[in-house]
Structure 1
Amino acid sequence: MMFSFTSFSRCQRLVNNPILTLIRNLHKEPIPVTWEKPEIGWTKLNFDGSCKGRAGKGSIGGIFRNHKAEFVLGYAESIGKTNSTIAELAALRRGLDLALENGWNDVWLEGDAKTLVDIIVEKRQVRCAEVQRHISDIISIIPEFDHCIVTHTYREGNRAADKLAQLGHQSEKPQIWIHIPPHQVLQIMHDDAEGKPVFRRR
């Protein structure tokens, strides 16, 4: 049967109907997202990059915690004009450097940029030379650890790192916190340690 343009347009209006979209979304159950503690002896890094405004002002942040969900170290830094992809990679690279400096050999790296996490885990090549340079640096550093895993979490499971990346926008110089976290992440850390879920809409 021939499908006319008029029929196609009518179907498109039906598909794009905001009321139907709302009804479909209401029927989708939200996903509970929780932060997971690392194993004993492991240190977990949650990292995040942020990019704001037309000028593309970038910042990075990250937080290290142990198997008890205790704060070990955090960092935040403004990195100037960039894009969100480079900011994410810079956040991870900074975290890797800090992990090596502190002698942590068993490290769990977790971020909310799924595509980048997949590229790093699968050691894939990308077309952008600048992005590939950052990825290659990261991939070359990871074998320096005794054990290292890289995983993706939803944004709701990465809230502490996101908060630190936001603090980076406000920082005139790089910030590092050791043992005592900034007060802006205390409630998030408490919720994470308790395993409190944050519900993500599908």
Structure 2
Amino acid sequence: MWTICNRIYTSNILKRVLLRNLHKQPIKVSWKKPEIGWKKLNFDGSCKCKTGNASIGGVVRDHNAEFLLGYAESIGKTNSTIAEFAALRRGLELVLENGYSNSDIWVEGDYMTLVEIISLKKDVKCVEVQKHVSCINLMLPEFRNCLVTHVYRQGNRVADKFAQIGHRLKQPQIWHVPPGEVVGVMNEDANGKVVFRMR
């Protein structure tokens, strides 16, 4: 008797969840070009759950969605939070090293907590995260203007591809010409392709 009641109860819950989700419209997500004179840095960290191996990656593009540089690197064993902060830190270092310090920079990632910590100057308890945040906060004033925003993963696909490449690398790598495996997604971004995200 209990099993039958339990099945009916579970079935009713599933029906309610399905009905609730049927009424929710998917979110349209796309990568946005920066304004003229701005550079845009998209970054991403990746962590393999089974092994704990992490990597970082990112891409810098201009107002025409032209590729300026990309980077990827394996960073050993850590968690996804540290990987996200390491990805942003390395991206900012490369932007400065490549002479864009006099530019306006738009920094965008898909990890909301990081965006809130940097843009709202929130305190963090983790010592390793604090180190990354301190370095990032020292670099941001080097730019004429800086905007830090969140985008859903579907709008951060090129950075994600670079982070995935990072898992395969033995040495850090920087590109000034995009590798073939990111070109297709870059073209989709440049053309404003919309990717749907379920709520």
Q: TM-score, normalized by length of structure 2?
A: 0.91
Which stretches in structure 1 are left out of the alignment for 5+ residues? 1-9
Deviation at 1:130, TM superposition (A): 1.4
Give the AA of the match of 2:160.
Answer: D
Give the AA of the match of 1:99.
Answer: V
Q: Counterpart in 1 of 2:66?
A: 70
Q: Counterpart in 2 of 1:152?
A: 150
Q: Counterpart in 1 of 2:193?
A: 196
Q: Distance in 2 between matches of 1:35 and 1:92?
A: 17
Q: Counterpart in 2 of 1:99?
A: 95
Deviation at 1:19, TM superposition (A): 2.5
Q: Distance in 2 between matches of 1:128 and 1:16?
A: 43
Q: 2:107 aligns with which of 106, 109, 112?
A: 109
Deviation at 1:15, TM superposition (A): 10
Q: Distance in 1 between matches of 2:71 and 2:97?
A: 14
Q: Counterpart in 2 of 1:89?
A: 85
Deviation at 1:106, TM superposition (A): 1.5
The superposition leaves residues 116-151 of structure 1 with CA deviations (integer Å, 9 ceiling, x where unpaired) of 101110111011121122112211211111111111
Q: Distance in 1 between matches of 2:66 and 2:50?
A: 37
The DSSP-based 3-state class of the residue aligned with 1:17 is helix
State the identity %.
62
1:1-202 equivalences under 5 Å are: 13=9, 17-104=13-100, 105-178=103-176, 180-202=177-199
Structure 1 runs of 4+ aligned residues shifted over 3 Å read 13-16
Q: Distance in 2 between matches of 1:15 and 1:82?
A: 40
The DSSP-based 3-state class of the residue aligned with 1:170 is coil
**Number of matched pairs:** 190
The DSSP-based 3-state class of the residue aligned with 2:43 is strand
Which stretches in structure 2 are left out of the alignment for 5+ residues? 1-5
Q: Distance in 2 between matches of 1:133 and 1:174?
A: 20
